[in-house]
Amino acid sequence: AADLPALSESDPTAKALGYVEDATKTANAKHKAGDDCTNCQFYSGGPTGRGPCQLFPGKSVNAKGWCVSHTPKKA
Ligand code: SF4
């Protein structure tokens, strides 16, 4: 599959959801230590690099990114 264009932190929807490329850098109080896109149920990419997120159709998010809609993957 073709690589999706990267979601930008300055994208209006990304901003609305507090998306960051590096989960360890967010100052958002909703962020829990250890949470990033790789352990979010909306992410369908690999453990590194970038991958799709259901909340940002047509864009790729950073595996190590995060946003306020983070929802732990079901076991
Ligand atoms: Fe990452 Fe999940 Fe937010 Fe999508 S919903 S950007 S996978 S934390």
pTM listed for this prediction = 0.94
pLDDT at 59: 97
Q: What is the per-residue pLDDT for 2? A: 64
Q: What is the separation of C-alpha 42 from the centre of its chain, rounded to a whole number of angstroms?
A: 8
- Smallest CA-to-CA distance from 68 within 39, 38, 26, 34 is with 26
Distance CA 49, CA 29 (A): 25
Which whole number is the average pLDDT over 48-65? 97
Ligand 1, residues at Cβ distance < 6 Å: 19, 37, 40, 42-43, 53, 55, 61, 65-67, 69-70
Nearest CA to ligand 1 atom 3: 67
Centre of ligand 1 from the C-alpha of residue 39, in Å:
9
pLDDT at position 10 over 80: yes
